[in-house]
């Protein structure tokens, strides 16, 4: 079984993120980066699946040279090899999905796992576009029922269930009103939700081994994808700052404020 | 509890200070009457909240005149009951004195009031690429004044040393209400005995620190954070031997046992990065000089069986997650049980000998009890936490540990150690001071106290009795 997993480089939420005064983007200086947490969950799920069914996890990232850091992180967790689509400059969801489509057609994985969204732009689109471009089934927001402290989690059993003949995948997904179970024929595209698993820490031997694992370099040109963005960011702005809380002297005042000011009761 | 506040004193305060200067509200008395410790019942007679050095000075003059005992109070995160007011004292809280002046970028210094919160100072300086390298889990609440009064240590001592190294100047209010300006912002000042040093680590018994000029240092470069699994304390020390010689600049070498991790997991629901449990864990933070060299060194740790497992943070978030395992220990032990804390230090060279004998003391004094060991082992500093067994009464527990402590301290003395590495003496360790200070030293300390505070109004009964 071959599983292709995406690994987007995103700002680490531990960095202070500030919007530039002119609204053209965010201030880059001093920012630290990490792998998109949903992608980290994707890598973990991929690794569990191949541990159970055999095969390999191939990890892919699009961006400048620096995205190799995130690829190395995924390799250190246990992915076998990496594909780096070297591209700097603006890119929209269609562009990302187009590039991933070509990578998928080249790699011919049984399953592509993406995060449900990237925590920088929170778009929640690439997985859906990709499934459409490939004409494959999709199951977004893959989650699972068991608590994360379950035996299953301890033993790192995959939450995604493969069909008996490895021709389909069963996905429990989180939806607005509960959980829905989908069965998709393979190959398929799955996007991960937060509760799917707890990704492992890369072990030190794994981190060292990752340094010599192969990273294949591709470019949009080599993949014949036109990545001219169709979506343009016009302006960025910080959300309005939250007002400081107040202390109320007693319950009656609280109820009064909830009723007459906040109008929630 | 005797209410020691004379009428005349209260009238003088009401006349000379703002209306919100003093509170006697029972909830506030409970809150401000104790620090992080839970051994004594808080019982102050009032809490004062000065805003200026002048207010502190005038208040102290009144306290001295009316013999009102004063407990200086910072962030109340102290672990030695130094900021505890259990006998009707007046608590003097510095919390309103939290102003910070702009960072002085030529001398790399900053002048702050004593009530500035440690972490606020960090944020204030970080904008300029600088830091005040006093750093530990309670930094979000502890204050500069409290840090200085306890000469606090913390998790970066191995690289930066104690608080003492990072204080250039002090403003101190004496027991008589005099204001002393000690050393200003001078790096060099050889004009006789350095009085500033007298107040650093004096736990509020010699004077009230109202302002300080702090020395700053550039924020460190990229730090790598490692967590290693090793079988036991002996292996922690073996690894330390290696780390000392590694091609790395160490900024932290901390350890904790599986018992600590279990409590952290119970309280904070944090998880271990490792598949298999291990007896001990080492958290190491370091700046690598040469990546290839560091890698060779790391590889050799596994080849030589010095560690059984290990991980390195792959992002700042992961570094914070690894640090949280270490930094949540104190809080988790207190939240899930009642620890009796010993904070001992040994010359680093004597750690191995001490640790090998320590187990015998545990076996004899606490057979079958849960003992949570952790600490800044790179500084020779062990936090020994004896956990109250389930079902045992608190009083019985305290009596038992009180009887057992001398055996431990005897061992500390034998190996040339100290019975309080960084938490101070306060009320908690007072009875054992003689294990670390000679009779001649104790007499000298008493002489000093009598000279500076003849009426014994400054944190009376803390550290030692006069
Ligand atoms: C979770 C946790 C972790 C900790 N880790 C460490 C650690 O790693 N290393 C370490 O050294 N300590 C540690 N501590 C202990 C404590 O945080 C430090 O000792 C800290 O420096 C105390 O500061 P504070 O402002 O809270 O002081 P307080 O507890 O308010 O007071 C401490 C002593 O200083 C006196 N004092 C306070 N302010 C003044 C002032 N302005 N003038 C004169 N005297 C004053 C008090 O009277 C008291 O005797 C830890 C505590 C906790 C709760």
Of B274, B311, B315, the CB nearest to A12: B315
**Ligand 1 proximity of B146 Cβ (cutoff 6 Å):** yes
CATH class of B337-439: alpha beta
Mean pLDDT of chain A: 93
Given the DSSP bridges, would you call strands A56-63 and A2-6 parallel, antiparallel or unpaired?
A: parallel
Domain boundaries for CATH 3.30.70.2190 within chain B: 224-330
CA dihedral of residues B363, B364, B366, B369 (deg, nearest 10): 30
**Ligand 1 proximity of B143 Cβ (cutoff 6 Å):** yes
CATH architecture of the domain with residue range A2-237: 3-Layer(aba) Sandwich (3.40)
Contact B96, B51 (CB under 8 A): yes
Residue B66 confidence (pLDDT) above 60: yes
Q: What is the largest CA-CA distance in chain A?
A: 69
Residue B2 confidence (pLDDT) above 60: no
Mutate which of B314, B316, B319 to test chain A, going by most A C-beta atoms within 10 A?
A: B314
CA–CA separation, B342 vs B436, rounded Å?
A: 14
Given the DSSP bridges, would you call strands B280-288 and B248-257 parallel, antiparallel or unpaired?
A: antiparallel
CA–CA separation, A239 vs A236, rounded Å?
A: 10
- Between the two ends of chain B, the Cα-to-Cα distance in Å is 22
Distance from the A56 Cα atom to the nearest Cα atom in chain B, whole angstroms: 21
CATH architecture of the domain with residue range B109-218: 2-Layer Sandwich (3.30)
Given the DSSP bridges, would you call strands B22-23 and B46-48 parallel, antiparallel or unpaired?
A: antiparallel
Which of these, A28, A39, A82, A38, lies nearest to A59 by C-alpha position? Answer: A82
- Between the two ends of chain A, the Cα-to-Cα distance in Å is 54
Whether the ipTM is more than 0.85: the answer is no
Domain boundaries for CATH 3.30.70.2740 within chain B: 337-439
Domain boundaries, chain A: 2-237
pLDDT value for A241: 86
Contacts of residue A58, defined as CB under 8 A and 6 or more positions apart, other chains included, come to A2, A3, A4, A5, A79, A80, A81, A82, A83, A107, A109
Residues in chain B with CB shorter than 8 Å from the CB of A198 are: 271
pLDDT value for B331: 93
Q: What 3-state class would DSSP assign to A205?
A: helix
CA distances from B60 to B35, B56, B70, B457 (A): 22, 6, 8, 9
Contacts of residue A241, defined as CB under 8 A and 6 or more positions apart, other chains included, come to none
CA–CA separation, A33 vs B432, rounded Å?
A: 50
pLDDT one-digit tens code per residue, A171-189: 999 888 888 999 999 999 9
pLDDT value for B3: 59
DSSP character at residue B376: -
Low-confidence ranges of chain A (pLDDT < 70): 145
Distance from the B280 Cα atom to the nearest Cα atom in chain A, whole angstroms: 17
Residue B1 confidence (pLDDT) above 80: no
Quote the percentage of chain B above a pLDDT of 70.
99
Contact B316 A211 (CB under 8 A): no
When pLDDT is averaged across residues B24-34 and rounded to a whole number, the result is 96
Q: How many Cβ pairs within 8 Å bridge chains A and B?
A: 51
Per residue, the 3-state secondary structure of B132-184, as one string, reads: CCCCCCCCCCCEHHHHHHCCCCCCCHHHHCCHHHHEEEEEEECCCCCEEEECC
pLDDT one-digit tens code per residue, B241-259: 999 999 999 999 999 999 9
Mean pLDDT of chain B: 95
Q: Give Cα B62 to chain centroid, integer Å.
A: 31
Contact A205 B320 (CB under 8 A): no
Indicate the CATH number of B224-330 among 3.30.1370.60, 3.30.70.890, 3.30.70.2190, 3.10.20.600. 3.30.70.2190
Indicate the CATH number of B7-96 among 3.20.20.450, 3.30.43.10, 3.40.50.2300, 3.90.470.20. 3.30.43.10
């Amino acid at each position: 079984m071959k599983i292709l997993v995406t690994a987007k480089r995103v700002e680490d939420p531990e960095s202070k993120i500030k919007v530039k005064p002119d609204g053209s983007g965010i201030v880059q200086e001093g920012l630290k980066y990490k792998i998109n947490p949903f992608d980290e969950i994707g890598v973990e799920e991929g690794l569990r699946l191949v541990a159970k069914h055999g095969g390999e996890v191939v990890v892919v990232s699009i961006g400048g040279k620096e995205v190799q850091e995130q690829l190395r992180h995924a390799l250190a967790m246990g992915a076998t090899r990496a594909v780096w689509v070297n591209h700097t400059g603006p890119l929209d969801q269609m562009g990302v999905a187009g590039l991933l489509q070509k990578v998928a057609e080249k790699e011919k994985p049984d399953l592509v796992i993406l995060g449900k969204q990237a925590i920088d732009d929170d778009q929640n689109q690439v997985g859906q576009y990709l499934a459409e471009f490939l004409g494959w089934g999709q199951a977004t927001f893959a989650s699972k029922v068991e608590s994360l402290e379950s035996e299953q989690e301890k033993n790192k059993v995959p939450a995604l269930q493969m069909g008996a003949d490895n021709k389909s995948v069963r996905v429990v997904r989180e939806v607005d009103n509960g959980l829905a179970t989908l069965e998709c024929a393979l190959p398929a595209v799955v996007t991960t939700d937060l509760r799917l698993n707890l990704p492992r820490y890369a072990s030190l031997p794994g981190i060292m081994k990752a340094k010599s694992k192969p990273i294949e370099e591709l470019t949009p040109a080599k993949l014949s994808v036109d990545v001219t963005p169709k979506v343009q960011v016009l302006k960025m702005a910080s959300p309005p700052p939250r007002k400081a809380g107040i202390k109320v002297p007693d319950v009656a005042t609280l109820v009064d404020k909830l009723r007459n000011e906040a109008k929630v009761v | 509890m005797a209410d020691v506040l004379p009428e005349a004193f209260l009238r003088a305060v009401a006349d000379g200070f703002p209306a919100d200067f003093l509170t006697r509200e029972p909830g506030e008395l409970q809150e401000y009457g104790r620090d992080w410790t839970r051994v004594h019942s808080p019982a102050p007679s009032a809490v004062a909240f000065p805003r200026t050095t002048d207010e502190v000075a005038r208040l102290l003059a009144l306290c001295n005149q009316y013999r009102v005992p004063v407990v200086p109070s910072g962030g109340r995160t102290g672990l030695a009951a130094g900021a505890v007011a259990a006998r009707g004292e007046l608590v003097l809280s510095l919390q309103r004195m939290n102003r910070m002046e702009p960072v002085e970028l030529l001398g790399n210094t900053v002048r702050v009031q004593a009530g500035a919160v440690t972490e606020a100072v960090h944020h204030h300086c970080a904008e300029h690429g600088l830091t005040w390298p006093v750093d530990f889990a309670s930094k979000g609440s502890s204050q500069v004044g409290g840090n200085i009064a306890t000469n606090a240590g913390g998790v970066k001592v191995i690289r930066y040393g104690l608080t003492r190294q990072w204080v250039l100047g002090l403003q101190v209010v004496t027991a008589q209400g005099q204001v002393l300006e000690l050393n200003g912002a001078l790096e060099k000042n050889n004009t006789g005995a350095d009085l500033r040093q007298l107040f650093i680590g004096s736990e509020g018994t010699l004077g009230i620190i109202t302002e300080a000029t702090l020395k700053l240092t550039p924020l460190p470069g990229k730090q790598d954070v490692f967590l290693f699994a090793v079988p036991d304390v002996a292996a922690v020390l073996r690894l330390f031997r290696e780390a000392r010689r590694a091609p790395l600049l160490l900024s932290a070498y901390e350890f904790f046992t599986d018992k600590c991790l279990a409590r952290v997991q119970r309280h904070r629901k944090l998880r271990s990065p490792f598949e298999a449990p291990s007896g001990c864990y080492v958290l190491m933070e370091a700046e690598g000089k040469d990546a290839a060299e560091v890698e060779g060194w790391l590889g050799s740790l596994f080849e030589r069986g010095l560690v059984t497992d290990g991980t390195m943070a792959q992002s700042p978030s992961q570094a914070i997650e690894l640090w949280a395992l270490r930094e949540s220990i104190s809080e988790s032990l207190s939240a899930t049980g009642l620890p009796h804390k010993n904070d001992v230090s040994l010359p680093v060279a004597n750690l191995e000998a001490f640790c090998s004998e320590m187990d015998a003391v545990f076996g004899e004094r606490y057979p079958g009890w849960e003992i949570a060991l952790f600490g800044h082992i790179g500084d020779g500093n062990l936090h020994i936490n004896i956990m109250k067994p389930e079902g045992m009464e608190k009083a019985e527990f305290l009596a038992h540990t009180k009887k057992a402590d001398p055996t431990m301290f005897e061992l500390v003395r034998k190996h040339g150690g100290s019975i309080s590495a960084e938490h101070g003496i306060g009320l908690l360790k007072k009875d054992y001071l003689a294990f670390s200070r000679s009779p001649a030293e104790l007499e000298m300390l008493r002489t000093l106290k009598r000279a500076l505070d003849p009426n014994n109004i400054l944190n009376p009964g803390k550290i030692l009795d006069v």
